[in-house]
């Protein structure tokens, strides 16, 4: 669940600096993955976004999520009131159509419909961009419920039924992915859910042979937005490549990447999202307080959307361990050893944190110290790739988990296996000699290291 929500926010923040730009701008600036201190979360763009800052796409999505969690059901009036409060705060990025509807003064059940009746144009992608939280929430309730909710939430600001039908298809594809299925294989079934008068148009843009080059509208419209997201999901090998493909299409990059990120995150999970991106994502919701939403907040919200209890996390007071230089340029510690370390460390965290760290260079990869890390190999490779890049730039890199033992030892040993060509046994002995806190109780970590050594 967290993969879908975080993935959509990551796509939004990655795409914001390139919004309204030409095709290929993303890869022209970042021809290869940027894993050092300066990543693809570069900020800037037409509205001067901070690196990793999300836009109106995620702001509105969080308002939908907050209403669902707090009300315990879909309350269209409450969602609309939250939207209106946000719009009244004059956010820096808000679609013209959405602004017109929310500033009309009309009640929630008339504002969008009357705007559509007057203008005849309301099939933008502004309702699709914010619907991932609702897709998560209603995925537990089955196809009929999620499709109905998608249409109802879309209709709050987008009176054109075409927009709602696109949201309905998206909801069903996310439901399939979160249930462990293949959303691409489910496209024909999802298209069959579209009302008959809109079905042919959606079938065209979601067909396997559709290409962005044959779109008949800009990707500010709902049809090519979802079409491009699915096209990228078909052709990308992993989460990062899916986003690179849509970002290089140009145009409304934040929204198309937001939609693609929600789908790809549902498919590849939280472990498939590069930590250099997820660690940077953040933002505020104008009109709704000064809270800064960060990765941990999004993960907690995703759990709530999935109906799971979300206890507050208090790591407690633990004796500080480290930081200690265990390998040349690579330091180790436990949670508080890292938290209170010099802020010029580049920190790689492998556990939940509680309060955010003050360090400028901070990556977070949430590896559980148990046997159930289904994406362990992917996450370990991601951590080692970033560690290698930061180390090569001359940063003092500090690796830690809660106790500084098992997960920290996994990464230290993995570094020696991959970079020094050691066997797992040699790497274990080497680290144990220099880091007496090494924990070896997790057999799945040793198995992952053996796969790394054999790869």
Residues annotated in a binding site for Mg(2+): 55-57, 252, 254-255
- In angstroms, the Cα distances linking 190 to 10, 22, 147, 167 are 25, 32, 9, 11
Q: Comparing C-alpha atoms, which of 208, 209, 145 is closest to residue 175? A: 145
Quick check: 4 and 302 in contact, CB under 8 A? yes
Q: Count of residues for the chain?
A: 455
| Cα separation, 123 vs 174, whole angstroms | 21
Helix 443-454 to helix 376-392 angle (10° resolution) is 70
Q: Comparing C-alpha atoms, which of 314, 365, 359, 313 is closest to residue 340? A: 359
Q: What are the binding residues?
A: 55-57, 252, 254-255
> Which phi and psi (to 5°) does residue 106 adopt?
-85, 155
Quick check: 228 and 23 in contact, CB under 8 A? no
DSSP letter string, 238-287: SHHHHHHHHHTT-BSHHHHHHHHHHHHHHHH-GGGS-HHHHTT-BB--TT
Q: Comparing C-alpha atoms, which of 158, 124, 150 is closest to residue 255? A: 124
Spatial neighbors of 266 by CB under 8 A, at least 6 apart, are: 3, 4, 7, 173, 174, 177, 178, 183
């Amino acid at each position: 669940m967290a993969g879908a929500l975080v993935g959509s926010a990551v796509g939004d923040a990655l795409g914001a600096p390139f919004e309204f730009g030409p095709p290929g701008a993303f890869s022209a600036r970042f021809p290869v993955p940027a894993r050092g201190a300066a990543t693809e979360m570069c900020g800037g763009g037409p509205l001067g976004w901070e690196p990793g800052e999300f836009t109106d796409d995620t702001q509105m999505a969080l308002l939908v999520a907050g209403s669902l969690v707090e009300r315990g059901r879909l309350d269209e009036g409450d969602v609309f009131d939250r939207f209106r409060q946000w719009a009244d705060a004059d956010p820096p990025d808000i679609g013209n159509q959405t602004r017109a509807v929310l500033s009309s003064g009309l009640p929630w059940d008339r504002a969008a419909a009357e705007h559509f009746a007057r203008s005849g144009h309301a099939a933008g992608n502004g309702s699709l961009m914010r619907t991932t939280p609702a897709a998560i929430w209603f995925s537990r309730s089955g196809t009929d419920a999620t499709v109905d909710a998608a249409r109802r939430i879309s209709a709050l600001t987008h009176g054109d039924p075409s927009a709602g039908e696109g949201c309905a298809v998206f909801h069903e594809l996310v439901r399939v992915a979160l249930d462990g299925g293949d959303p691409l294989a489910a496209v024909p079934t999802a298209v069959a859910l579209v009302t008959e008068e809109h079905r042919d148009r959606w079938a065209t843009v979601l067909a396997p042979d559709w290409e962005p080059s044959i779109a008949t509208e800009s990707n500010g419209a709902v049809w090519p937005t979802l079409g491009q997201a699915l096209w990228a999901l078909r052709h990308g090998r992993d989460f990062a490549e899916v986003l690179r493909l849509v970002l290089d299409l140009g145009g409304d990059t934040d929204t198309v990447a937001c939609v693609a990120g929600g789908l790809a995150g549902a498919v590849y999970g939280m472990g498939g999202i590069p930590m250099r991106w997820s660690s940077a994502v953040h933002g505020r919701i104008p009109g709704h307080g000064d809270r800064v939403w960060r990765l941990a907040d999004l993960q907690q919200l995703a759990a709530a959307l999935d109906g799971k209890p979300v206890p507050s996390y208090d790591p407690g007071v633990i004796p500080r361990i480290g930081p200690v230089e265990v390998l040349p340029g690579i330091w180790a510690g436990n949670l508080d050893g890292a938290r209170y370390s010099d802020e010029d460390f580049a920190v790689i965290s492998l556990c939940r944190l509680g309060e955010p760290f003050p360090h400028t260079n901070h990556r977070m990869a949430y590896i559980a110290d148990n046997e159930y890390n289904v994406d362990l190999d992917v996450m370990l490779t991601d951590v080692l790739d970033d560690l290698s890049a930061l180390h090569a730039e001359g940063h003092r890199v500090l690796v830690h988990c809660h106790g500084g033992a098992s997960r920290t030892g996994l990464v230290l040993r993995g570094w020696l296996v991959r970079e020094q060509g050691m066997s797992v046994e040699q790497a274990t002995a080497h680290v144990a000699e220099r880091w007496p806190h090494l924990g070896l109780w997790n057999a799945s970590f040793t198995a992952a290291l053996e796969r790394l050594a054999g790869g």
